[in-house]
């Protein structure tokens, strides 16, 4: 077999065109090295773009998968702080960025398909502190940096303003000092142990209303805290924590959570039930089902069954729900009470010219809410139903409750008073609204509504001419006491003597000589 021979190495020096040259080796191509900060910024922009894509798609379809905060602080996002800042700031400047891109006209079809990422990078180029330097999209837009800056200058001239703040023309909602609420997951940790652990770095107080809720100073950032990462505590607002507590499920009960994702209230129910009994968690949206399952896994709850389907499609008379004794109904709502927390005011659909849309949307939401509440009350063995919204609108709150009161009464339900010590109650628009609970966006830092229905078994049926069985028994007892010789001896003797005298007298003539 012939051997292949390697060509001889050429001499170090060669003659070419009479010029003596030195042969040098070309260094091998090396992978470009990036600093840790550059890599971190690159990942943050990609994660922010993914969040922004979900937010804008949900806003356009009016079916948000989750709030901005929930999306950013999900376990899949690594660089949470940078991602959150990028998403919020890009949304604040989104209209300006879109106008600049239209004026500059630098996007080709490839980058138009990746608009969320383009928006994020353009924010960094136009308004950010750090200039993006790595990444294909970054390099493309940096080549057109002058065109983008020129487009911004042109926009300022067109709008007849001097700076970007005037250009945006948006009165940003002022941040309000809201405490950081933390709910202790008692399936994994007791309240006192959580207080002891958190007090190492924060000032901690126990909430006066919800027993397993802790109050920390405003601005306390626990998103990376190990107790949050392992599910021993949940970052959950006070109003949200009051919902499951208002239902008061007992250990061993079967409970149905009608609209359960993302699952914080669901796992709170599991903790209140001490991990016993059964919770059926309904959720229609597939993406939200995944979030629900992640929340349940994090909590360690083992008594929750996830049902991927429509709550309104459940048959109350089905044997599967024969033992359900309580229902928590926290349906889709306008979210008007938590706009600042959810950052919904940054979305395109929350601009000033959406008054007509908001009115139509509220009406559609109210129609759905009434159907859902009436459906919850129709489960035969249910004893307690909580209806809650994070809305400040009467049409979603008092009006919904008022519309189902006749049905509730016919099924044996009446309004009860959750948290009697709470001062703010329902709007006085119908008799019984004082049982409803409201939270005020200013006083309580968020708007919320809770209604509690409790079955009393006093069914609202037509009155019957027949006496109740209990009263009949009482009357028979009284009659028997009147004639019984041992219970009323004097009366019996007087009655017996009178009868004896009547029998001993001669009969009287029926004729008269008048």
99-115 tens-digit pLDDT: 999 999 988 878 888 88
pLDDT, average across residues 27-52? 75
pLDDT tens for residues 436-473?
Answer: 999 998 889 899 999 999 999 755 444 444 455 655 55
**Structural tokens at position 201:** 């770095």
In a domain, 253, yes or no: yes
Q: Are residues 158 and 207 located together in one domain of the fold?
A: no
In a domain, 485, yes or no: no
Q: Are residues 222 and 260 located together in one domain of the fold?
A: no
Q: Are residues 337 and 200 located together in one domain of the fold?
A: no
Q: CA–CA distance from 348 to each of 122, 352, 365, 447 (Å)?
A: 18, 10, 20, 22
In a domain, 5, yes or no: no
Which residue range is the domain that position 367 belongs to? 238-455
Number of domains in the chain: 3
pLDDT tens for residues 126-153?
Answer: 988 667 778 888 889 999 999 999 999 9
The answer to whether residue 75 scores a pLDDT higher than 70 is yes
**pLDDT value of position 65:** 58
pLDDT, average across residues 353-365? 72
Q: Which of 220, 235, 250 is the endpoint of a domain? A: 235
The annotation places the binding site at 259-265, 283, 310, 330
Other CB atoms within 10 A of residue 106 CB: 18
The answer to whether residue 246 scores a pLDDT higher than 70 is yes
Other CB atoms within 10 A of residue 453 CB: 27
pLDDT tens for residues 153-198?
Answer: 999 898 888 887 777 764 344 445 789 999 999 999 999 999 999 9
Q: Which of 306, 312, 391 is nearest to 344 (CA)?
A: 391
**Structural tokens at position 498:** 């009178």
Q: How far apart are CA 198 and CA 190, in angstroms?
A: 13
Q: Which of 410, 427, 455 is the endpoint of a domain? A: 455
The answer to whether residue 340 scores a pLDDT higher than 60 is no
**Structural tokens at position 349:** 């659909």
Listed in order, strand segments (DSSP E) in 235-361 are 254-257, 278-283, 304-308, 324-329
**pLDDT value of position 475:** 56
The annotation places the binding site for S-adenosyl-L-methionine at 259-265, 283, 310, 330
Q: How far apart are CA 23 and CA 44, in angstroms?
A: 46
Q: Are residues 111 and 58 located together in one domain of the fold?
A: yes
Contacts of 316 (CB under 8 A, 6+ apart): 375, 378, 379, 380
Q: Are residues 275 and 418 located together in one domain of the fold?
A: yes
Question: What is the reported pTM?
Answer: 0.64
In a domain, 1, yes or no: no
Q: Has 333 been annotated as catalytic?
A: no
| Burial (CB count within 10 angstroms: exposed 0-12, middle 13-18, buried 19+), residue 261 | buried
**pLDDT value of position 271:** 98
pLDDT tens for residues 271-285?
Answer: 999 999 999 999 999
Check: CB of residue 191 under 8 Å from CB of residue 234.
no
Element (H, E) at 436: none
Q: Are residues 244 and 204 located together in one domain of the fold?
A: no
Q: How far apart are CA 385 and CA 416, in angstroms?
A: 10
**pLDDT value of position 471:** 58
Q: Which of 57, 55, 58, 59 is nearest to 47 (CA)?
A: 55
Q: Which of 113, 143, 168 is the endpoint of a domain? A: 168
Q: CA–CA distance from 195 to each of 192, 223, 270 (Å)?
A: 5, 17, 21
Listed in order, strand segments (DSSP E) in 342-484 are 384-389, 413-416, 437-439, 448-455
In a domain, 466, yes or no: no
Q: Are residues 208 and 281 located together in one domain of the fold?
A: no
Q: What is the dihedral of CA 40, 44, 47, 52, to 10 degrees?
A: -170
Which is the catalytic residue, given 282, 333, 390, 472?
390
Could you tell me the CATH number of the domain that includes residue 226? 3.30.70.1170
pLDDT tens for residues 321-331?
Answer: 999 999 999 99
Check: CB of residue 244 under 8 Å from CB of residue 267.
no
Higher pLDDT, 279 or 4: 279
**pLDDT value of position 18:** 41
Could you tell me the CATH number of the domain that includes residue 251? 3.40.50.150
**pLDDT value of position 162:** 81
**pLDDT value of position 58:** 75
**pLDDT value of position 33:** 64
Q: How far apart are CA 218 and CA 497, in angstroms?
A: 91
Q: How far apart are CA 253 and CA 380, in angstroms?
A: 15
In a domain, 318, yes or no: yes
Q: Are residues 208 and 128 located together in one domain of the fold?
A: no
HEC secondary structure over 160-184: CCCCHHHHHCCCCCCCCCCCEEEEE
Report which DSSP code applies to 22: E
The answer to whether residue 244 scores a pLDDT higher than 90 is yes
């Amino acid at each position: 077999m012939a051997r292949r021979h390697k060509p001889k190495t050429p001499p170090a020096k060669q003659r070419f065109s009479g010029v003596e040259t030195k042969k040098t080796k070309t260094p091998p191509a090396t992978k470009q090295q990036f600093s840790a900060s550059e890599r971190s910024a690159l990942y943050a922009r990609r994660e922010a773009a993914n969040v922004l894509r979900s937010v804008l798609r949900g806003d356009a379809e009016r079916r948000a998968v989750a709030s901005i905060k929930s999306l950013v602080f999900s376990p899949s996002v690594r660089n949470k702080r940078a991602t959150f800042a990028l998403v919020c700031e890009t949304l604040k400047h989104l209209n300006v960025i879109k106008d600049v891109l239209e004026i500059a006209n630098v996007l080709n079809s490839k980058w138009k398909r990746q608009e969320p990422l383009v928006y994020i990078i353009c924010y960094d180029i136009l308004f950010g502190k750090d200039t993006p330097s790595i990444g294909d999209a970054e390099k493309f837009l940096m080549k057109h940096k002058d065109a983008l800056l020129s487009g911004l200058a042109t926009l300022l001239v067109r709008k007849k303003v001097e700076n970007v703040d005037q250009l945006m023309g948006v009165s940003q909602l002022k941040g309000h000092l809201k405490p950081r609420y933390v709910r202790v997951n008692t399936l994994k940790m007791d309240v006192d142990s959580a207080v002891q652990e958190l007090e190492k770095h924060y000032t901690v107080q126990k909430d006066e209303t919800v027993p397993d809720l802790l109050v920390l100073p405003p601005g306390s950032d626990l998103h990376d805290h190990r107790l949050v990462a392992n599910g021993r505590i949940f970052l959950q607002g006070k109003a949200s924590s009051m919902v499951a507590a208002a239902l008061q499920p007992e250990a061993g009960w079967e409970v149905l959570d009608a609209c359960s994702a993302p699952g914080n209230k669901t796992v709170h129910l599991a903790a209140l039930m001490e991990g016993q009994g059964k919770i059926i968690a309904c959720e229609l949206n597939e993406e939200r089902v995944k979030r629900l399952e992640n929340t349940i896994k994090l909590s360690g709850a083992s008594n929750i069954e996830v049902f991927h389907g429509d709550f309104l499609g459940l048959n109350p008379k089905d044997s599967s729900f024969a033992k359900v004794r309580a229902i928590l109904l926290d349906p889709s709502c306008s979210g008007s009470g938590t706009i600042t927390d959810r950052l919904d005011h940054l979305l395109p659909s929350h601009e000033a010219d959406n008054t007509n849309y908001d009115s139509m949307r509220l009406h559609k939401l109210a129609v759905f809410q009434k159907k859902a509440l009436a459906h919850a009350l129709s489960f035969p063995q249910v004893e307690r139903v909580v209806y809650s919204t994070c809305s400040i609108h009467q049409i979603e709150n008092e009006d919904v409750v008022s519309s189902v009161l006749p049905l509730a009464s016919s099924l044996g339900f009446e309004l009860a008073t959750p948290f009697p010590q709470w001062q703010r109650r329902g709007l006085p628009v119908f008799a019984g609204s004082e049982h409803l609970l409201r939270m005020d966006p200013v006083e309580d830092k968020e708007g919320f509504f809770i209604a509690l229905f409790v079955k009393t078994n006093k069914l609202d049926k037509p009155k019957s001419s027949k006496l109740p069985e209990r009263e009949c028994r009482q009357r028979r007892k009284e009659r028997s006491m009147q004639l019984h010789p041992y219970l009323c001896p004097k009366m019996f003797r007087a009655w017996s003597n009178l009868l004896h005298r009547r029998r001993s007298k001669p009969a009287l003539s029926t004729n008269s000589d008048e």
